[in-house]
Chain A
């Protein structure tokens, strides 16, 4: 005989103010199977929980309904409470009479009968609940970090410091990412490489960190604690063990192309290091342009290499390894500003993007740190900055705020003044967003240094006598503005990597309408994803500046560390389960499963005189996240989500509707 206890909560006046709790308790007592009903001011409080524990023992309750708030809020609390009284935690059901009832109604005569119905539903369900038990899975205590920018480096360092092995996979020939391209960083103006390169070296020399550069993740299978990852390490054509990084090969190489690192403002050789502090400090041959590979000639680098490190026959290596957790730190890229035809980017060489200016300011850049305009190499006297290029623009770009541009434009204006004191800077802006520690002060400083902030958009840029005429509007004064500029800098938005959706598919995570990876909860689970064991760090999740990226990377590392601190993981028992006797083996469940958790399984059984084999669906409970998509797709009714079985849901529907 099932003995249900119902605990009706007042939640102070949250529920009791709108629902006649006494009446609900009275009605609940009449529901068949209910043997005990109690009211509490705050059921989640210590005395409230004690009363549940006491009632379970005194009244020999084997099912508990807590009529209180959303299961999101306190289901776990009451499950633990029941468990401490010896009851299986999955025999507890929440009846949400707060969010679903008292908070959305004001008329007690309506909300009270509704609350009774909600309790009736919960009782109907709980009577069909069965004890569920989490199973355990082992954890491979090695982390994979995808992306070797500042986010990936920070996450790797933190995880490795905790004593766990980390592999960083970076697709460029060096780690460092976007931050390596920057000159100075706001709001303190310390040199970007001066603070980044020590971290790069730390990561490279850390015994717990292995860095695979010029490598890409091809496939990820498995589940939390047990991912199997295939990585393709592209052939560098240079034996890293032999190379001494003397650089003579680079010096002698006859072929060059635009340097990606310098945003196309300079050139690099076919055998190259993206920048002098590259980690690993070994050159790479770009087979797309290397004459040995394109024409079968040359081979000078091989001839001049004193240590015989150049190896044209090197092949891609494919590694398949197991990891327990994955941190996605794949970064972002720059918006293609060509879309804004009125700014003339691509047509006028002196219209550049923020990242290009970084390279022009940088002492390792193509101009050795002298700001010279690309067209004629002259020192610019008037520079116009245009903000929100591609961001906050639903028509041509993206509706979101790119977040870092206000500050980096202020930084650019300050650096310009520092480098060329006589220069004047104009900033066309929509709003200045300087929310961050010391950010507002930094923005003020750029104003105090003489930067003219013009609130308004630029409508047109055209060249005239070696100058760029920037026409816009000052919406504060209601006046047209025209500036004769030598250089125009576009604050291009941060946008997701073009292959972010593909990476998301590999990771089995979701992404938003722009292509930024989605966190599990925007406030409370900002570095987790909906796929257990996959965490997010940095701009792959949304536009961020460096401090925020580093903080998030450490947060992701903390999540990995706490995962690895357990010897085994207990799995959520609310997973899909197949009744093989009913399963027809159509595998629609497998097709609709977002987590690739359902596979086909061949079973053998007797059918009359013959032994036959047939296909049925089989759920990998490690991968299953309990979303229930399969149960909906299953026509046979063979698929059930434990804790939300068809039988339980039908009982709920009947309790509410009949």
Chain B
């Protein structure tokens, strides 16, 4: 792990020294000793601040939008798809980016560490275990029991190859098959039951828009839901407007969701937003025969007109 961090620091420093970037977004040590937060560096001398991010690491793609270009970014496989999304949506240009991709064994969700282990002083990965250091001494937890949901759904933690620098220590999360069982569950619910579930979930929403702000597919210059006129979304925090908001959000990312799950991670009330997003992803795969619909493409099936479309609706 440290080796990877050293290599990363070096790569970031040389990106600055070679004049490849004017700014660089990465992770740095957060307010807690074990957590990391995003940092935007403006000089190679800041490279020492770079952290890999063992726990609670946010995704960084969205930061690229406002950074001085050329901009550098360090990405895991999930974040790499987000960057690709922004490129395909023409929100950033590939030639304005300097991408360093790293392999990732998964990121710890500290909320999954039992409350009894409060006052964490340090976290450490040791093989297939997470060692939680507290004032009372270290405790070992199985690695897979403490990962972020997105890491559990991660298909492969190997470093993405579409990058200017690829740093892969071979310890990335091994490839795993896609699992849509949670979507099956929702699909098999009776309509009333399903509606009741979403009603319950959406009622929790406080309309903070964190899901939108975190999403690499939600990158409009100005979100249409913020427009005063036409008022697509009323300001009232009432259930019908919650449905309107969440449906609009889900439909706007349909066919473009990269499956990074950052929306869900960002949500302060824990809405299962990926159930909506992944339903669309799976539908696109089954209805249109797209192989792994999370991967951004130059032309997406929902964003194209084909003259030889069968026009079944006529």
A residues neighboring B (CB under 8 Å): 501, 504-505, 510, 513, 581-588, 591-594, 615, 629, 633, 635-637, 645-647, 650-651
Q: Which residues of B contact A501 (CB under 8 A)?
A: 307-308
List B contacts of A591 (CB < 8 A).
Answer: 299, 303-305
Say whether B308 contacts A584, CB under 8 Å: no
Residues A637 and B303 in contact, CB atoms below 8 Å apart: no
- 17 CB-based A-B contacts, threshold 8 Å: A501-B308, A505-B308, A581-B221, A582-B227, A584-B90, A584-B221, A585-B90, A585-B91, A586-B89, A586-B90, A592-B305, A633-B303, A635-B224, A635-B252, A637-B224, A646-B232, A650-B230
Q: Is the CB of A637 within 8 A of B307?
A: no
Which of chain B's residues has its CB closest to A515's CB? B308
Q: Does residue B291 face the partner (Cβ distance < 8 Å to A)?
A: no
Residues of A within 8 A of B220 (CB): 582, 584, 635-636
Give Cα A177 to B229, complex, Å.
59
User: How far is A508 from B307 in the complex, measured between Cα atoms in Å?
Assistant: 8
Q: Are B90 and A587 in contact (CB under 8 A)?
A: yes
CB distance B221 to A583 under 8 Å? yes
Contact between B307 and A504, CB atoms less than 8 A apart: yes
Pick the residue among B219, B232, B305 that contacts A637 (CB under 8 A): B232
Is B185 interfacial (CB-CB < 8 Å)?
Answer: no
- B89/A584 in contact, CB under 8 A: yes
* Interface flag for B231 (CB, 8 Å): yes
Contacts of B89 in A (CB 8 A): 584, 586
Q: How many interface residues does B have (CB within 8 Å)?
A: 24
Summarize B's interface: helix, strand, loop or mixed: loop
Chain B contacts of A615 at CB under 8 A? 90
Closest CB in chain A relative to B240 CB, distance in Å: 10
For the complex, give the distance between the alpha carbons of A582 and B223 in Å: 8
Instruction: Point out the residues of chain B lying under 8 angstroms from A583, CB to CB.
Output: 221
- Interface pair A636/B304, CB less than 8 Å apart: no
* Inter-chain contact B230/A586, CB cutoff 8 Å: no
A588 contacts across to B, CB distance below 8 A: 300, 303
CB neighbours of B188 from chain A (8 A) = none
Q: How far is the CA of A320 from the CA of B308 in the complex (A)?
A: 27
Chain B nearest CB: distance from A219 CB in Å?
Answer: 15
User: B222 near A582 (CB under 8 angstroms)?
Assistant: yes
A592 to B300, CA, bound (A): 10
Once the chains are docked, how many angstroms separate the CA of A595 from the CA of B62?
Answer: 33
Return the CB mask of B139-173 against A: 1 if under 8 Å, else 0.
00000000000000000000000000000000000
Chain B, Cβ-Cβ closest to A592:
B305
- Considering residues A510, A584, A635, A636, which has the most beta carbons from chain B within 10 angstroms of its beta carbon? A635
User: In the complex, which of the residues B227, B231, B303, B307 has the most CB atoms of chain A within 10 Å of its own CB atom?
Assistant: B307
Known interface pairs A582-B220, A635-B220, A636-B223; 12 further A-B residue pairs with C-beta atoms within 8 A, sorted by A's residue number: A510-B311, A581-B221, A581-B222, A582-B221, A582-B224, A584-B221, A586-B90, A586-B91, A587-B90, A591-B304, A593-B305, A650-B230
Across the interface, B229 reaches (CB within 8 A) one of A587, A594, A647, namely: A647
Cross-chain contact of B307 among A592, A594, A651 (Cβ < 8 A): A594
B219, A629: Cβ atoms closer than 8 Å: no
- Listed from nearest, the 7 A-B pairs whose CB atoms lie closest are A637-B224, A647-B230, A588-B303, A586-B89, A650-B230, A636-B220, A635-B252
Centre residue among B222, B299, B304, B311 by max chain A CB count within 10 A: B222
Chain A residues, CB < 8 A from B232: 637, 646, 650
Chain A residues with Cβ below 8 Å from B224 are 582, 635-637
- With a cutoff of 8 Å between Cβ atoms, the chain B residues found around residue A629 in the complex are 305
Hey, what's the 0/1 contact readout for B203-247 against A, CB within 8 Å counting as 1?
000000000000000011111100101111000000000000000
B227 x A637 contact (CB < 8 A): yes
